[in-house]
Amino acid sequence: ARNALLLPWDRFSAWLHCICVVGFDLELGQAVEVRHTGLRSPKTSICYLSFPDSNSGCLGDTQFCFRFRQGSNRKSSLGCFLETTDRDAPACLKREQGHYYGYVYFRQVRDKSLKRGYFQKSLVLISKLPYVNFFHSLLKIMAPEYFEKQEPCLEAACNDIDRWLTPHPGRILTLPIMGVVIKCVLFQSDSLVSIVLPTIHEVDLFRCFYPVFFHIQMLWELVLLGEALVVMAPSPAESSDTVLALVNCISPLRYCSDFRPYFTIHDSEFKEYTTRTQAPPSVILGVTNPFFAKTLQHWPHIIRIGDMKQAGEMAKQMKVKKLKNLKTLDSKPGVYTAYKPYLNKDEDIIKQLQKGVQQKRPSAAQNAILRRYFLELTQSFIIPLERYVASLMPLQKSISPWKSPPQLRPFIQQDFMKTLEKAGPQLTSRLKGDWIGLYRHFLKSPNFDGWFRNRRREMTQKLEALHLEALCEEDLQQRIQKHTEVETVDLVLKLKDKLVSTDSSETQALQQCCKYNC
């Protein structure tokens, strides 16, 4: 019903901010040649981010993604509709608030008819949705068609997208685009469906972590704690995939710091992120330009990966190197850090993955093993926090329709730490180590701050809903008979305030029950 109320291009805007084509001009350099719908974002950044660095030498077709800050505080015309969608979505599927994603399909082929000798062009989808797998799959359909038939087919694609149902958690999405149909669920195909996507947002963790899989547990800790990390890779595809895998490895916990899957010297935050006058910020950067090996050598944690096609050879060489060895950074793959993990190394998962490589276990199976490992590790860590925060909720019997909703009790670190003795991660995880130290560090991190803010907001909304329910269930006529006129007026004022503060659906429910009970 809601979709029927949407205006032209509202459905398109629910999926994409804009589509643009970035080409290379001999005089101007990278430039936006075509764009569909408004592009008020920093165009210069988009132009540079849409092309691999000059040193990357990507021939053929390459796909990667980038992320950049929203230029101005623009509100969507879809307003509360998208807020409702986001409210129902798990953390990993919520749309970005202050950033955009850019999903790129770059083509570079030799062309003697051009002065430069190469055809170089990128088709870029700009969106607030973190649906990495979905948009890369969409580009595989759109880009080859565009490079062959040019702009008219982009207009057709935009019209197709504007007929799509708006994205909503749990919805089976059957999406026609340029003569094919994408279905975005793990679901048996039918005759009308051309492509079935088992997931719209997840990256292949095993493929991305393969060059560093001896250190996956340490990297999980670094991401969990919001440490400053830089990934140096030979191409934007490898840098963006690795950064996204890092952010993804603490799922279902949301990574609350900044991350840039592909970062260049032209980014507006370049000076902010490379300054030596202060400690590096809590951010994960993916870079390809060798210039960064010198510019970011003061960063505390650096991952240098080689070509993922040679991953089998690289994995044997990937040893943790101390920061004093950074002079070799521009030549040897490795993890450069002085960080000492809080938890003992889990040798079982390493052996399991190594055995899979030896037995040529399918990549999808290896990915599932690694994803389950990270999920169980994160859940073991977060369950004690969830349990303690739930205890901060006031008892339901303390909620009275005649009083304001009770407040949540404060989070007290010492009290939480005491709960870990009997109800800590040891109940669900076999890993030993300094769990207490890990929690102390985590409680100071942006990830804890973001997680707790979200949980506190959800619990406050729950208290408001329970208070509203108590008001609805109260027999007002009987209550008024037992109270003075002053108390009755006070109640009416409280009800008026409640009507003003609740959203439209709750207001209707409150008005109906007030009529019924009055």
pLDDT of the residue at 53: 81
Per-residue pLDDT, 392 = 94
Tell me which amino acid residue 125 is.
L
Measured between alpha carbons, how far is 191 from 119 in angstroms, rounded to an integer?
37
Burial of 486 (0-12, 13-18, 19+ CB in 10 A): exposed
DSSP helix/strand/coil, 110: strand
For residue 152, the model assigns a pLDDT of 83
Q: Answer left, alpha or beta for residue 216, where phi above 0 means left and psi between -120 and 50 means alpha.
A: alpha
Contact 323, 337 (CB under 8 A): yes
pLDDT of residue 150: 81
**Domain extents in the chain:** 10-154, 474-517
Sheet order of strands, 174-177 included: 174-177, 180-183, 195-196
Residue 505, pLDDT score: 47
> b vs e for 343-358, b when ≥16 Cβ sit within 10 Å of the residue's Cβ?
beebeebeeebeebee
Contacts of 473 (CB under 8 A, 6+ apart): 401, 513
What pLDDT score was predicted for residue 190?
44
Tell me if 197 sits within 8 A of 134, measured CB to CB.
Answer: yes
Q: What is the side-by-side strand order in the sheet with 334-337?
A: 258-260, 283-287, 229-232, 301-304, 334-337, 320-321
Confidence (pTM):
0.85
How far apart (Å, rounded) are the C-alpha atoms in residues 346 and 369? 14
Averaged over successive runs of 10 residues, the pLDDT of the chain (518 residues) comes to 62 90 76 67 75 72 91 55 65 81 92 80 92 92 90 88 84 87 61 60 86 91 97 93 95 94 91 86 93 89 75 46 52 84 94 92 91 94 95 83 81 95 90 95 96 92 82 70 73 70 54 49
- Block residue for tokens 């690289």: 314
Beta-bridge partners for 501: none
Q: By the 8 A CB rule, do 56 and 237 touch? A: no
DSSP string, 337-355: E----SBPP-HHHHHHHHH
Q: How many CA atoms lie within 13 A of 370 on its CB side?
A: 33
Q: How many residues does the chain have?
A: 518
Looking at residue 272, its pLDDT comes to 87
Q: Judge whether 399 and 466 are in contact, CB under 8 Å.
A: yes
Task: State the sign of the Cα–Cα–Cα–Cα dihedral 189, 194, 198, 199.
Answer: negative
Residue 257's pLDDT is what?
A: 94
Beta bridge partners of 108: 60, 120
SS (H, E, C) 291-334: HHHHHCCCCCEEEECCCHHHHHHHHHHCCEECHHHHHHCCCCCE
Cα torsion 321, 324, 329, 331: sign: negative
DSSP string, 168-183: -TT---EEEETTEEEE
In this prediction, residue 314 carries a pLDDT of: 41
- Highest CATH level, class, for 10-154: alpha beta
Question: Are 309 and 292 a contacting pair, CB within 8 Å?
Answer: no
CA dist 28 to 34, 102, 105, 316, Å? 15, 21, 21, 44
pLDDT at 193: 54
Q: Residue 215 burial by CB count (10 A; 0-12/13-18/19+): exposed, middle or buried?
A: buried
